Amino acid sequence: MGCGTRRGTLRVSGFAPDAARGLRRVFLRGLEARARLGVHAHEKAGPQRIIIGIELAVEDADVAAGIGVDHLSRVVDYERVVMAARSIASGEHVLLVETLAERIALAALADPKVVAARVQIEKPDAFPDVVSVGVVVERTRPPC
């Protein structure tokens, strides 16, 4: 959908599926990747293990219209989401985990069906006595 359509005023709340509004929730959990990430010298020495989770609010006009069209053009390509997240994570060194999460969220928003993206990045090996540390960011498609 382009500018001037329902998307310009669409508000996403809680990433819950909503048939009346033509929204579905797409998620990716537990993507393990290696990232050159962090501000400390030992973090700059080489990549570290991270765990990525992504939730997307995806608009589907066919659902709102009650049309059960079984066609790939209606959905977000999971493989593209995974490949983009891996590529961004393995790219250049990033100081902040927040920056990495924001870059992944913006890549997901490149798909015009995605109206909001929530990205969680965990660093499970940051501290020996902590299961993981990390951040969650949420980004929405800017209004037209």
List residues with catalytic annotation: 123
Q: How many residues does the chain have?
A: 144
Q: Are 121 and 99 in contact (CB under 8 A)?
A: no
Burial class (CB in 10 A: 0-12, 13-18, 19+), 42: exposed
Match 């037209």 to its residue by tokens: 144
Report the alpha-carbon distance of residue 28 to residue 117 in Å, rounded: 11
Match 């501000």 to its residue by tokens: 39
Residue 28 has which token pair?
A: 């990716």
